[in-house]
Amino acid sequence: MTLLNDIVSADGRKGGSGETLAIRGGRPLRGRVEVKGAKNLVTKAMVAAILGESPSILRDVPDISDVAVVRSLLEVHGVHVTDADEPGAFVLDPAEVESAHFEEIDAHAGASRIPILFCGPLLHRLGQAFIPDLGGCRIGDRPIDFHLDALRKFGAVVEKLPSGIRLSAPNGLHGANIHLPYPSVGATEQVLLTAVRAAGVTELRNAAIEPEIMDLIAVLQKMGAIISYEPNRVILIEGVDRLRGYDHRAIFDRNEAASWACAALATDGEIFVGGAKQQEMLTFLNVVRKVGGDFEIHEDGILFRRGGELKPVIVETDVHPGFMTDWQQPLIVALTQATGESIVHETVYENRFGFTQALVQMGADIVVHPHGLQEGPRRVPRRNLEQAAVINGPTPLHGADITVPDLRGGYSHVIAALTAEGESIVRNVGIISRGYEKLFDKLAALGADFDVLG
């Protein structure tokens, strides 16, 4: 069994540990990187394996610490995880699923948000579940009220304890009519993973429809589930009694692909992102074009570079098919090099501009308006989240001593340091291994000049 503090993730480093890089920037990143399966699908598909009566095979699994955390959590629940017939593929055998000991589960508290998705599958298999306090990036309150409300509608009894949440289903789970207050990715996955084996039909309205969710639906259909996607964010799930294992190659990681694209724009380099596909990135590619970037679509990936001087842009983050919240951080680094005033509105999370402080320290002209701008164009007034970042460029960036705050913000700090003239010290980079596989190897392959200080 893998113990959480033994988890060694991307680049052979301990998961989640702080690490420091000395980065000498000011040179373009050039070369090819490969992106594997999406963190935000793979971790959910691993949980789905609990629902099967036979082993599942998941392919293109990235070597990242979020995967290691979910693997460890599956193992403490009796799922046997072994290597499959090709590199980056796992066999997940749920034959001996069992309740884990409190101490084993509690060791995962604060490590990831994925444990909340164990609820439905464990309730179906064992009639009970315990979920520790959740972690993930500190980018807002990130509550779980939609999840718990949905689980109650399926018939689960939810008991909140100081150490976590205990759930039981004394009368089994039944289909439900659920209308999400917001198209939450996690809550949509919660409903899917619970409804597939609940008795009767579940109608989910205002569902998230991200490509990773469509891929999870594909996984569940391979397992025997009956799920139809109706117009206007409605998903219908007809519960079935039994599910089997799946064999699935995960959808590519759009967030990593967009990150490398922005690195090419920011450093005036040229990066071929192997494994990236156009369809799932249409919205992002439109913004790349508007900002003066250039891209070439190939069968095996997408090539990104500048198409001339970078231009300012106004974007608003949104649920799919909008511009993803996970894309704004690396984009903002590129926008520091665009001529004119750019505006980025963040509408998904309430606190996702903290990373810009380090960019300002490096010479960027970025002003965050926590309560929004008094005027200026907006696409759709969505939610109460009005915060906006105004970026004026181009500003030469210079080296600084900065500390990574979270996953996407951290990647942006690294790219900013590579864009900046002079040496930067970037601390706490271990957190980036939650979502970026072999980051150091990839940076080295692209010609980045850096040392790992330990």
Among 191, 273, 343, 348, binds ligand EPU (CB under 6 A): 348
Strand 234-238 relative to strand 201-205, pairing: antiparallel
- Identify which of residues 164 and 224 has a Cβ nearer to ligand EPU in the complex: 164
Which residues in 254-273 contact ligand EPU (CB under 6 A)?
255
Among residues 419, 365, 420, the alpha carbon closest in space to that of 393 is found at 365
- Per the residue annotation, which of 73, 131, 137, 439 is the catalytic one? 137
Residues ≥6 apart with Cβ < 8 Å to 285: 278, 295, 302
Residues paired with residue 273 on neighbouring β-strands, in sequence order: 33, 302
40 annotated as belonging to a binding site for a ligand: yes
- For residues 320 and 380, give the distance between their C-alpha atoms in angstroms, rounded to a whole number: 14
Which residues in 374-413 contact ligand EPU (CB under 6 A)?
407-408
> Could you give phi then psi for residue 388, rounded to 5 degrees?
-145, 150
- For residues 290 and 279, give the distance between their C-alpha atoms in angstroms, rounded to a whole number: 18
Output the smallest distance, CB 394 to ligand EPU, in A. 27
Sequential DSSP letters for 67-106: HHHHHHHHHHTT-EEEE-SSTT-EEEE-TT--PPPHHHHH
Is 435 near ligand EPU (CB under 6 A)?
A: yes
Output the smallest distance, CB 285 to ligand EPU, in A. 18
- Identify which of residues 184 and 336 has a Cβ nearer to ligand EPU in the complex: 184
Structure tokens at 323: 């511009």
326 annotated as belonging to a binding site for a ligand: yes
Residue type, 66: D
Is 419 near ligand EPU (CB under 6 A)?
A: no
Is 40 near ligand EPU (CB under 6 A)?
A: yes
Is 329 near ligand EPU (CB under 6 A)?
A: no
Output the smallest distance, CB 43 to ligand EPU, in A. 6
Whether 137 is catalytic: yes
Structure tokens at 357: 């402080």
Helix, strand or coil, per DSSP, at residue 21: strand
Is 197 near ligand EPU (CB under 6 A)?
A: no
- For residues 8 and 72, give the distance between their C-alpha atoms in angstroms, rounded to a whole number: 12
Is 147 near ligand EPU (CB under 6 A)?
A: yes
Binding site for UDP-N-acetyl-alpha-D-glucosamine: what residues are annotated? 113, 326, 348
Q: Which residues belong to the annotated binding site for phosphoenolpyruvate?
A: 39-40
Binding site for ligand EPU (CB under 6 A): 39-40, 113, 137, 140-147, 182, 184-187, 208, 255, 324-326, 348-349, 407-408, 435
Q: Which residues are catalytic?
A: 137
Binding residues: 39-40, 113, 326, 348
